[in-house]
Each structure stands twice: as C-alpha cells, then as structure tokens.
Structure 1
Amino acid sequence: MNLKNILAAFLFAAASFSAGQTQSQAKHTFAFGDTQFLLDGKPFQMISGEMHYPRVPREAWRARMKMAKAMGLNVIGTYVFWNVHEPEKGQFDFSGGADVAEFVKIAQEEGLWVILRPSPYVCAEWEFGGYPYWLQNEKGLTVRSKEPQYLAEYKKYIMAVGKQLAPLQINHGGNILMVQIENEYGSYAGDKEYLKINEQMFREAGFDGLLYDCDPAPDLAKGHLPGLLPAVNGLDNPHKVKQLINANHDGKGPYYIAEWYPAWFDWWGTKHHTVPSEQYAPHLDSVLAAGISINMYMFHGGTTRGFMNGANYNDSNPYEPQISSYDYDAPLDEAGNATPKFMAFRSVIEKYLPAGVKLPAVPAAKPTMAIKDIHIKQSAAVLSNLPVPKANVHPLTFEDLHQAYGFVLYRTTLTGGKTGFLKLKDLRDYAVIMINGKEVGTLDRRLKQDSIELKLPAGKVRLDILVENLGRINFGKYLLQNKKGLTGKVNFGTQEVLNWQQYGLPFQDLTHLKYTAGRITQPSPQIKKGSFMLLTVADTYLDMRKWGKGMVWINGHNLGRYWSIGPQQTLYIPAEWLKKGANSIEVLELLKPQMNTLSTLDKPILNLLQ
C-alpha cells in the first residue's frame, strides 16, 4: 500500500471515529503491524500532541482539543500525575481538574484518540517527577525500584488509575490506543525485572490492550522491556528511528517517536527558550513522509500552577527550579492560541491529506484585555498569621511536618550583642531571614548560598527563617534526595542553633487570614488582598515586573509563582477563572511588602531577565 493510500485509510478511520460514536458504539481494534499501526486492520499514522490536563483549566479542555484537530492532530498524549490523584496517602482524587477520565472522554467526543502515560514517574518538569511527597516518609522506601514498600504503594495507585481509565481503552469501546509503562527508565537504570513488574501491575489494573515503553535514543536498549513496543524520544531522523526500533523489536515496527521536541521549557534566572518553526517543520515533514507516527512534546504546555513545578539538578549543574509558565514555545501558546509554529506544522500536515479532505478552520485567537490598575486595600503580615507551631530541638523538614508544598517558618531565640555568620546546611530551597520581625536578607539554593552575616542587637533576639519549597527535583538520581525545608544543621558562628518552633504555611486555604485595612509598615513578607470589577471577561496577564517574589490567587485559583529575576514576568489569568462583577485577588509578596498596586497587560512577558 503506498503512502497516499495509507494516509487515506488513516483519515477515513479518523473520520469514522469522529462521526458521532459514543463509548457504547463504534468498536474498534488497534494492533501492531510489521511497519505500521493498524486501526481496524488498516494502516494508521498517529500525529499526536502532548497536553496535560492539570496544566489547562478544566473549562478549557474542549477548546484545546478543537485546536488540536485544527492543526491536523488525530491523537492527544497525556501523562497521569500520581501526586495530583493521591496528594496524601490513601486519599485519592479524580474530581474537578483532576478528572482525567473526563479529559479522555472529551477527546473522544472531539474525534481524537489518546495515548495514555500513567507511569508513577512522569518527569514532565513536575514536582518530584509526579511522585507524591509522602512517599519520602515511608522509611526505606525507594522510588523506581523493586523495594517492597514502593511496589505496594505503586500498585494501589495504578489500580486506582485503572478503575478510572482501563474501561476507556479502544478494546473496551473507548479511545485510548496505547498505554505507556514507566518513563524513560533507561536514562535512570536498566533493571528488566523491575520493568516486568511494571507490566504485570498494569495488566492487573486492567490495562489489557497495547503497552509500550519510551526512552531517548542512547538509552533505548537499556530501558526497553522485550515484548513491548519500543518508542524513541528526541530523535527525528527517519532512517535512525527505524533502525533503532528494528534493533529492539525483532526487526519490525511500527515506528513511534514518543516525544518530539519542537521547543523547550524554562527555569528561573535563565533566558526564555524558543526554537523557530522553520528549524523543525522540515523534520516533521520527513517523519510524516516516512510513515512514522509522532507525538510532539509539547503541542500545548499551558501553566504549571500552584506549587507543582519541578526542578533539575545534578553534580555539574546548579539547582534549577522551573517557572510557572509552561508555554514551552509550543505550537499552541500558554493561553491556547495558535502560533506561527502551529500554522507551519499545520501546513506540513496538510501536505499529506488526500485530495478533497480539509482540516477544520483554525479557531480565532481568544480575546485579551488589560484591566484598570488594581489597588490593594488590605494586608496581612505572615508573621501575624501563624498557626500552632510544632517544637523540636533540631529543624524539622516539610516531610516531618507532613506538609507537601508551600512554606515553613522556622523560629528560635538567639543571644544578641554579637556578629557572626548564620549557616544553613542543605537549605531547600529559598529562605527569607528575619531578625525581630524585620527582613535582613535572603538565601537562594540556585546560587549555592547557604550563609549570611548577621549583626544581632543586644538582648534576646528572635530569629525567623521563612523557607520556600521551590519544587522537588524531577529527573535523575536526586529523586532520592528530595526533602524540603531546613534539612541539615543550622549554625550561628561556631555554635549549632537548637530549639526550633516550626509553623507550617502551605497556603492552600487563605480564608482564615486576618487582614488589616491599608498598608502594614512591617518590613517582612505579607499577603495582600484586593478586588476589582469587570463588565466583561477575557484573558489577561498580571504584570509583576515591579514586584519581588511570591504567588497570586484569583477567585481562589492559584495562578503560580512570580519572581522578578525572570524570564517570566507575567502571570496568565484565564478568562474561564474571571467573572462579571466582583473578582478577588490575593498576593503573597516576600521581598517588597510596600507594593500595593497591580497592573495587567493584554499579552505575556516571558523573555525578560532582571
């Protein structure tokens, strides 16, 4: 069958799929041929784009799917995130923005197939690579290993995921074509027995269709489990892709590039990464011409909201926490609008459509607006809104306090009248240092800062250290060393500082805070509260260039972190989270408590280092 006929068959199958089937209708089959995927026995080329449901407002899932169809995609790829679905041990959540089954069903309604990636480890520039923080409280538990406690928790998780998603596989009338076990395991280790346990657990959880694994080209043989389909990441040379997969799959295909990177992500303090479309469109063209299936990572990045960004770190590079925007310079931008890259890739895909077949029109860009300056009317000092503390001789980590994310305030008393260096061993990750309620400096793990000189006034001195978890490492061996807070000794001069009070500040619920009208002169971190009226709603962007460092909530939704160092200077506010009439805003500001005015823009600033 020549390429034209293959693509005609693929489009016929896609059209029949999207022509109004429901889960109870349109039974399909999906299988591996020697060189092609086979949908209902006919060759099928997957043109897929990665999009993660927690990074997109639930209210916008369908609109993003329509954009995927308009670019020519026939498949959506997504990870499943363990720490989203089991934030605390034994407490599972598949509701609201975590309703991954609904995400898959909407894709089906929009005529899209799904590639599912529910491995407990996802990487994904996501906090702890997707692992829930509480795994670190299980003594002896080792992630990505055959350690029994890990496997026991893993099994509970994958069984819960299976209940949600196994019924949505294609062999059960759904639209999930394939399911991935583990994730780039060859870049981490090479234990085939561990991979086999993964496969067995997936089968027990009800994933009885086609399974595959994926690895970067240099690690594929190490991370591949014989018997499954190997897929390759980061390689788009058709000859090399086929050669590599043949070598690991009994000389056969089908051929799948599971992660193709048309751009890249950003981290704080480093320039915004962009890749021009003309650099990558020819590669997409050559892959499609060769009949190879592809998943672009990312098609639409969205936003890593709340505290869910991860971080990179290894022995040769500093700690690199990722920014909140996951725009990724992807074909669909952070707000869900088509970019020039989108149009360039669409033009490539259109080349392979049979005569007479046309893609849907590209939906118009969403309207944007700049709103009037927002003047803050209320303030709450963090130091005046502390919960009941937990006392301990030595500092306790976030994990000791059973706190996943956010901040912890560490408090103790020093004998004053002297000058010396305060040293925080293994600070994770960012500390605001305060003496008698006044901010005197900061320490930043990114910059390998762990010491600050303090000049203490006479008498008893209150030392407060507000520590922020900037994101657990999501890749590499340091997954196993990911506790947060003050994780080592604290010394002042030559003496160890003891007898600490720990105040957990996860900032999940701001309703208990006690605000005062007007400004607070206290030079320490504050939460600001304001409101604004809207006659109409549209996307907008908070301009945080004049502010310091912190987080913002709109109508109760955590928009993510801002930090004046850049490159991200704006926070995206989706129209879906605004309302006509009164809207509320809260800002946690660590460094510039004097700020009291917020402005907005009608476009983002993602490329400004300060």
Structure 2
Amino acid sequence: MTTRRDFLTAAAGLALMPGGAALAADARFTIQGDDFLLDGKPLHIMAGEMHYPRIPRELWRDRLRKLKALGLNTLCTYVFWNAHERRKGIYDFSGNLDIVQWIRTAQEEGLWVLLRPGPYICGEWDSGGYPAWFLDDPDIRPRSLDPRYMLPSGDWLKRLGQEIAHLEIDRGGPILMTQVENEYGSYGNDLAYMRAVKDQVRAAGFAGTLYTVDGAAVIENGALPELFNGINFGTYDKAEKEFERFSRFKPTGPRMCTELWGGWFDHFGEMHASMPIPPLIDSLKWMLNQRISLSFYMVHGGTSYGFDAGANFDRNSQTYQPDISSYDYDAMLDEAGRPTPKFEAARTLFKNYLPADRFPTLPEPEKAIEIKRFRLTQSAPLTQLLGKLVTATAPQTLEQLGQPHGLVLYRHRTKSALSGTLSFDEVRDYAQVSVAGIPAGTLDRRYHETALDIAAKKGATIDVLVDTMGRINYGDRIGKDQKGLIGNVKLGETVLTGWDHYGLPLDDLSPLTFSKAHVDGPAFHRGTFEVTEAGYTFLDLRGWGKGYVWVNGHNLGRYWSVGPQHAVFVPAPWLKVGQNEVIVLDLHAGAERSLAGGKNQIWDRPGLVEA
C-alpha cells in the first residue's frame, strides 16, 4: 500500500509542469515500462475534461485555473468536427472555436493536454461530432472503412492538423498524447478500421504518442495494443475490478482511467442525474494508492449552446432520448463554474497525496445576479423567418435540404376533401400539425407518436412544423438519425405527394419585425431587462412551452417544460451592464410571457422540484 509519504516523495520527483515555452520546447514525453516519462522522470497524469465550445471564451482561463486548483496537471479535451465545419469545406477556428488559443491557454496555466480529435467523439454532442452535410445519406457507414466516410474524415483531420499538430510536446506545445477514434470497442471490432484512423491521424501531422480509450469489458474490440490504451468507467464500478480486466488484455504498461464518470448527463423528460460522492472518493483513493493516472469526465461540463446537444437511443424500449442543453453533469464545477461539494471532497483527498504547491488559490468567484421578473411585450410570428421554398414529391430531410439544424415547415395542399388518419413513417423529432391554420395536434418522437386524425376541405393546407432535437451520438444509430419527416406521409392508405418545404435554421434573427400585437401559434417574444453589475444568471422558464432562448444575440439552447431543466444559464460575458435583450421562441401559445433571473439552475429531482 502506498503511503502519503511515498506518494509525496514520488510527486516531488515528477516532471515539472509546463511553466513556459522554454521548458516545453526541451520536454520529451515517452512511455517506458509501466511509466509515463517526461524528460526521463515519471509523470503521474491527473487530468480533467473540459470542452471549449461549452464555455464562453472569456471564461476559459477561469475554468482552467479551477481545474489546476483541484490539484490536476492536465486538461483533456475533445475536438468538435461539426462545430468547425458546419458547411462542407468552410472551416471556423475563430472566437469560441479557437482551439489553438484553448490549448495555449492551458499551457500558459501550467497544464499539459490530452487531445481527443475523434473524428467521432460521442460527448452528448449532436451526432457525436459528425457534420450533418456528409450524413445526408443514411446508407453511409460511419466508423467503418466505407470510403464515403473515410475520405471526409481524413480531410478533416488533415485540416485540424494544420491548426494544432505543432502544439505537440516535442514541438514546444503541451499536447502529451493524441487519441485515435473514441470508445470504438463499444461500437465495433474492426481493428483494420482503427488502424486506418491511426494512419489518418499520423498523416494529419500528429507525430507524438497516440492512444485509445475503451471500457475494460470491450477493450479487445477497439484497442490497438501497439498504442497506449486507457479504460473508462464510473464511480459505481470498482476500479480494482476494472483494472483486473484490463490487465488480462495488457499486463504491462502504464495504467490510466481515461474517463472517470463522477457524474452523468440528462435527457428531456427525466429527473436530473446525481451521483453520490463516497463511491467517487473510494475509486480515487484506490487509484492514487496504486499511482494510476486518471481523468475526470467531466471536471466541468458547461452548456451545450444552440443546437449542439446530442441524444441517445434506448435499444430495449426503442426510445429516442434527447439531451438537455445544460451539461452540468453533476460535475466538480457546476454549469456556472462554481466548485461543488464533490470538488471540495476530491481536493481534500488530493491534499493527502500531493505537495502543497499543487493547489493554487481558486480564482475569485463570479457574481450570481438576480433579475426581477419582467414581461416580454413584443412578438413576431415564426413565419417571418420562413426560408426559400423547395418543392418535392415526398418530404425531404434537413440534410437533403442542406440545413444543419433548426426547424422545417412542410406544407401540402389538398386536391380534394380529406378525412381520416394522417400518418408518418417517422417524425424526427417533434411536430405540430395544423389544417387550414387550425391546430390539429402534436407528435412527439419520444412516445413513438406518428399519427393523428384530421379533416380537411379541398384546397386546404396541411402544415407540419418539425422541431429537431439532437442527433443520436452513441450506438448503432450514429449517422442514421437524419432529421425532419422520414419516409412517406399517408392519409389512410393513400400516400400524399407534392410537398413544399420552408427551412428555419434560426441562425439569423435580424429579419424579424416585432410589434405589440398578439400573435397566435409559434412565435418569437422579445423583451429587455436591466443589469446593474457584472455577473451571471439563470433565466427561469417555468410557464413556457418548448423552444429556444437568445440573450444579446447568443443562442443559449433549448428549453422544454417536460424538464428536468427549467432555466437557461446566461454567462456573465454575454450580459452587459445596462439594457439587455432577450428573445424567446415558443412553439406553444400561452398567456404568460415573463421571465426572471435567479442564482441557480432549476432542476426536477426525484421527489423534489426546486423552487
């Protein structure tokens, strides 16, 4: 059993942190025997995962300093392909997507980096990071040697390499290792494919140490034994048992829990996930005593802004499970970046093992501000943003229309009077149906709803407004979750042909013209509120229906009355002292159009609804 003195002595002899460019330029990271070596000295990797698109750029340094204040020495980060290449061949590495600055900021704060470029990342992120534009055909086989997949994958990795390969440790950067694919053993077992991805990573210019991650139970399916292999597990799993499994696959070499799940994510319509602290501490104690490296997933989750939250699919119940926009994850730092009791418990434990200089002072906390309830007094109909008309015999998916996200209005004009059951092969993901402008009902994919009864006169319009939620990011349906109306639409046994399509990507709200006139049906509602000091808040959306929220032009993500999330986080950098503008798109009619700002997220919890 390792004692505190043994661990402190070993820690004192570990390689120094990357304090500056001069040290990093001379550093060399290798694996020898059972150790990671940095400049020839053992390195015990203690990492935490954070994601740059989920944290406003102005807060990156604050969050990284808090990661370091926990006693950690390494940042672990995914790279989000679909965020950087939303349109084919058009790349964005600016603003909140400036991954070079994200990695350099980590280095400036004395942190090493584990890079996870995928190209598949899971991450409760839309389609696991795959762009919508190359998955317009559900026959494409992601995560395989299908050239329709491998060619764009290779092109993306090469483009990414141009941005960040020079930040590997041997070239003066902080990147210790670069991951190949992501938990592939839970998906397939084609090691030829894995080696092809490895070759693409090398061809992209990543010359340093590569690694894979998998669950210990499926590691033979996905791990390349010639690389370093990490394992992922949760705090309810016994760490000792997981590493016993791992040792049967690879008895020698460094050991690392590359994702230690100390929290979990949430789906719409469920209770907020919460994981207790004691099992986490037990796992940490055992790994620290064995000097096993580790990475928290997540140390801070943040928020999946805009349209970026993903979804799961329960194979047993065949049920679609969309993720909420909050990525709080019940993590060490909450959605607003505040240390939680879990953070304090881990930090207290780490102080028994690590030198005192591993624990810098936490940054000054940001201020949480309250906003008195105010009315949104102006409205504009959703139809003001209808895109260019596209006609087709059968309904087209968003991907076929070249639209990455948002809503689509499908319209059919009847050629004769109709009455009966209107049915759809599939609705992805939430539809409002109206006939001649009169609401006829809603269809929710979570409940397998695909039909409703209607009656329409000759020449009447049947409108189907489809709101899309996250694409499935895990399991065998990755890449097969195209959005909109799927397949045929029937009235009884008759296929309805001839459809108009109007896209609503919601990327630009500037064409909206607001007024104080009452608006029926789906509409945008606008209001203003005053802020007298810098800080963050949570906008209370109880009483609203389903839609999206923008503050000062920033899309804060989805909300839905089904919970468990009933407020949206507004980070301090996106508020300004003085007047602020909020726009809420609500798909449901309702009399109450007001908001207030509070200091905390509002969760549904088992047996409790927080006030």
TM-score, normalised to structure 1, is 0.95
Q: Is the 8 A contact 2:332 2:342 kept in 1?
A: yes
**Structure 2 match to 1:159:** 158
Query: How does 1:481-496 map onto structure 2 within 5 Å?
Result: 481-496=480-495
CA gap of 1:294–1:147, structure 2 versus 1, over 3 A, is same
Instruction: Map Cα deviations across residues 337-382 of structure 1 (whole Å, 9 max, x no partner).
Output: 000000001111111024x546122334421111122322321111
Name the aligned partner's letter for residue 359 of structure 1: F
Q: Is the 8 A contact 2:217 2:245 kept in 1?
A: no
Q: Does 1:590 align with 2:590?
A: no
Query: How does 1:109-508 map onto structure 2 within 5 Å?
Result: 109-137=108-136, 141-234=140-233, 237-249=238-250, 251-317=251-317, 318-354=319-355, 357=357, 359-414=359-414, 419-456=419-456, 458-508=457-507
Distance in 2 (alpha carbons) for counterparts of 1:396 and 1:334: 37
| Structure 1 residue 497, shift from structure 2 partner | 1.7
| Structure 1 residue 18, shift from structure 2 partner | 4.7
Distance in 2 (alpha carbons) for counterparts of 1:599 and 1:592: 19
Q: Is the 8 A contact 2:384 2:512 kept in 1?
A: no
**Structure 2 match to 1:536:** 533
CA gap of 1:486–1:98, structure 2 versus 1, over 3 A, is same
Name the aligned partner's letter for residue 347 of structure 1: T
**Structure 2 match to 1:48:** 47
Distance in 2 (alpha carbons) for counterparts of 1:594 and 1:420: 32
Instruction: Map Cα deviations across residues 177-234 of structure 1 (whole Å, 9 max, x no partner).
Output: 1111011111111111111111111111111111110111111011111200111111
Q: Is the 8 A contact 1:7 1:45 kept in 2?
A: no
Name the aligned partner's letter for residue 210 of structure 1: T
CA gap of 1:564–1:302, structure 2 versus 1, over 3 A, is same
Q: Is the 8 A contact 1:224 1:230 kept in 2?
A: yes
Q: Is the 8 A contact 1:177 1:210 kept in 2?
A: yes
Distance in 2 (alpha carbons) for counterparts of 1:579 and 1:30: 44
CA gap of 1:166–1:441, structure 2 versus 1, over 3 A, is same
TM-score, normalised to structure 2, is 0.94
CA gap of 1:332–1:460, structure 2 versus 1, over 3 A, is same
Structure 1: stretches of 5+ with no match in the other structure: none
CA gap of 1:418–1:62, structure 2 versus 1, over 3 A, is same
| Structure 1 residue 507, shift from structure 2 partner | 0.1
Q: Is the 8 A contact 1:121 1:131 kept in 2?
A: yes
- Aligned to 1:313, the other structure's residue is in SS state strand
Q: Does 1:581 align with 2:607?
A: no
- Aligned to 1:532, the other structure's residue is in SS state strand
Q: Is the 8 A contact 1:412 1:464 kept in 2?
A: yes
CA gap of 1:289–1:384, structure 2 versus 1, over 3 A, is same
- Aligned to 2:383, the other structure's residue is in SS state helix
Distance in 2 (alpha carbons) for counterparts of 1:165 and 1:7: 34
Distance in 1 (alpha carbons) for counterparts of 2:174 and 2:385: 49
- Aligned to 1:300, the other structure's residue is in SS state coil
Higher mean displacement: 527-536 or 108-117 = 527-536
Distance in 1 (alpha carbons) for counterparts of 2:360 and 2:494: 69
- Aligned to 2:100, the other structure's residue is in SS state helix
Q: Is the 8 A contact 2:568 2:601 kept in 1?
A: yes
Distance in 1 (alpha carbons) for counterparts of 2:513 and 2:37: 61
Instruction: Map Cα deviations across residues 130-159 of structure 1 (whole Å, 9 max, x no partner).
Output: 100111236853211111221111111001
Higher mean displacement: 331-340 or 484-493 = 484-493
| Structure 1 residue 241, shift from structure 2 partner | 4.4
CA gap of 1:240–1:608, structure 2 versus 1, over 3 A, is closer
Distance in 2 (alpha carbons) for counterparts of 1:419 and 1:241: 59
| Structure 1 residue 22, shift from structure 2 partner | 2.2
**Structure 2 match to 1:89:** 88
Q: Is the 8 A contact 2:72 2:358 kept in 1?
A: no
- Aligned to 2:285, the other structure's residue is in SS state helix
CA gap of 1:499–1:222, structure 2 versus 1, over 3 A, is same
CA gap of 1:510–1:97, structure 2 versus 1, over 3 A, is same
Q: Is the 8 A contact 2:443 2:450 kept in 1?
A: yes
Q: Is the 8 A contact 2:370 2:599 kept in 1?
A: yes
Name the aligned partner's letter for residue 159 of structure 1: K
Q: Is the 8 A contact 1:519 1:594 kept in 2?
A: no
- Aligned to 2:501, the other structure's residue is in SS state strand
Q: Is the 8 A contact 2:211 2:230 kept in 1?
A: yes
| Structure 1 residue 162, shift from structure 2 partner | 1.0
Q: What is the root-mean-square deviation in Å for CA atoms of aligned residues? A: 2.1
Distance in 2 (alpha carbons) for counterparts of 1:603 and 1:424: 40
| Structure 1 residue 99, shift from structure 2 partner | 0.9
**Structure 2 match to 1:561:** 558
| Structure 1 residue 509, shift from structure 2 partner | 0.6
- Aligned to 1:373, the other structure's residue is in SS state strand
Distance in 2 (alpha carbons) for counterparts of 1:536 and 1:437: 45
Distance in 2 (alpha carbons) for counterparts of 1:175 and 1:244: 31
Q: Is the 8 A contact 1:568 1:608 kept in 2?
A: no
Distance in 2 (alpha carbons) for counterparts of 1:109 and 1:171: 17
Q: Is the 8 A contact 2:138 2:480 kept in 1?
A: no
| Structure 1 residue 397, shift from structure 2 partner | 0.8
Distance in 2 (alpha carbons) for counterparts of 1:31 and 1:400: 47
| Structure 1 residue 40, shift from structure 2 partner | 1.4
CA gap of 1:588–1:281, structure 2 versus 1, over 3 A, is same
CA gap of 1:574–1:426, structure 2 versus 1, over 3 A, is same
**Structure 2 match to 1:545:** 542
Distance in 2 (alpha carbons) for counterparts of 1:142 and 1:569: 37
- Aligned to 1:396, the other structure's residue is in SS state coil
Distance in 2 (alpha carbons) for counterparts of 1:51 and 1:475: 19
Name the aligned partner's letter for residue 477 of structure 2: Y
| Structure 1 residue 6, shift from structure 2 partner | 5.7
Q: Is the 8 A contact 1:23 1:174 kept in 2?
A: no
CA gap of 1:421–1:323, structure 2 versus 1, over 3 A, is same
Instruction: Map Cα deviations across residues 423-460 of structure 1 (whole Å, 9 max, x no partner).
Output: 1211111101122223332100001111112244x453
CA gap of 1:7–1:222, structure 2 versus 1, over 3 A, is farther
- Aligned to 1:566, the other structure's residue is in SS state coil
Q: Does 1:525 align with 2:522?
A: yes
**Structure 2 match to 1:62:** 61
Instruction: Map Cα deviations across residues 526-582 of structure 1 (whole Å, 9 max, x no partner).
Output: 011222222212110111111000000111110000001100000000011001122
Q: Is the 8 A contact 1:245 1:253 kept in 2?
A: no
Distance in 2 (alpha carbons) for counterparts of 1:9 and 1:162: 35
- Aligned to 1:198, the other structure's residue is in SS state helix
Structure 2: stretches of 5+ with no match in the other structure: none
CA gap of 1:2–1:599, structure 2 versus 1, over 3 A, is closer
Name the aligned partner's letter for residue 352 of structure 1: Y
Higher mean displacement: 564-573 or 578-587 = 578-587
CA gap of 1:419–1:214, structure 2 versus 1, over 3 A, is same
Distance in 2 (alpha carbons) for counterparts of 1:75 and 1:562: 33
Percent same amino acid among aligned pairs?
41
Distance in 2 (alpha carbons) for counterparts of 1:479 and 1:5: 46
- Aligned to 1:571, the other structure's residue is in SS state strand
| Structure 1 residue 129, shift from structure 2 partner | 0.7
| Structure 1 residue 104, shift from structure 2 partner | 0.7
Distance in 1 (alpha carbons) for counterparts of 2:416 and 2:151: 51
Distance in 2 (alpha carbons) for counterparts of 1:288 and 1:438: 63
